[in-house]
Amino acid sequence: MADSYRLMTIGPSHYCEKARWGLDFFEVDYTEDKHPPLIHWAWSLPSGGGRTVPILKVGRKVIGESSAILRFVDAGHRNGRCLYPDDSGLRAEVEQLEERFDTRLGPHTRRVVYFHLLRRRSLALDAIEPGVGGIQRLVLRTGFPFFRFMMRRGMNISPASAERSLDYARQVFHAVDERLADGREFLVGDVFTAADLTFASLAAPVLLPAQYGAPLPGIDEIPPEVVELVESFRATAAGAHALRVYRDCR
């Protein structure tokens, strides 16, 4: 019997979106197990995959880290397309960009979006709860102030840190703008790769693409200052690129 694939996630997480998109891209049949932040430790730690999600379980194999998951599905599930080019030079370029987005973009877009989301209980719950089991939902709802406190502490969220993160995110967008300035269609080579997928996924919290693989607040549900922020990112060449690959490749 073929091994079943289970992807452990926090639904709205953009690193989880990255893994989910990779699995969907190769049409892998998998089940997603969604948990609220912090409560997910009750599953992630015993699985041996560590404290962060996504974690992919394939039979007895446990793969943590979104980039390792992308490499795993790319190596074993190519369906006429791939995320990491065979050409070693292009592959190195893709991996370098992916690593840069993982470390320099992901933590910052996440801090910015949680800074705004955690101030509005119903928006936060609407994003976190879909697909989560009833007991976990109840624990999250009952203990929301505690979870909010722990998340703010865990991600070092404050008005000042959110402002700095906004700046860092803008710098990465600017670097991507410059890369796209020669009119290229994709970040590396002439096809969609893990570099485009990673940029678009990790930029998604400040772009709110309609095709995101989990419910995100709609532009008409968020407060005016966040609409302004999202629109400013959407107006960049990098933002337009991410929205286009969401439309065409997600």
Helix (H) or strand (E) holding 1, with range, is none
Residue among 9 and 236 whose Cβ is closer to ligand GSH:
9
d(CA 106, CA 104): 6
- Smallest distance, ligand GSH to C-beta of residue 147, A: 12
Sheet with 55-58, edge to edge strand ranges: 31-34, 5-9, 55-58, 61-64
- Smallest distance, ligand GSH to C-beta of residue 150, A: 9
Residue among 4 and 103 whose Cβ is closer to ligand GSH:
103
> Which residues bind to ligand GSH, rule: CB under 6 A?
10, 13, 15, 51-54, 65-67, 102, 110, 154
Q: Report the largest interatomic distance among the alpha carbons of the chain, rounded to a whole angstrom.
A: 53
- Smallest distance, ligand GSH to C-beta of residue 141, A: 20
Residue among 32 and 65 whose Cβ is closer to ligand GSH:
65
- Smallest distance, ligand GSH to C-beta of residue 72, A: 12
Residue among 47 and 180 whose Cβ is closer to ligand GSH:
47
Asked whether the beta carbons of 192 and 249 are under 8 A apart, the reply is: yes
d(CA 65, CA 53): 7
Residue type, 137: R
Q: Whose structure tokens read 């700046």?
A: 167
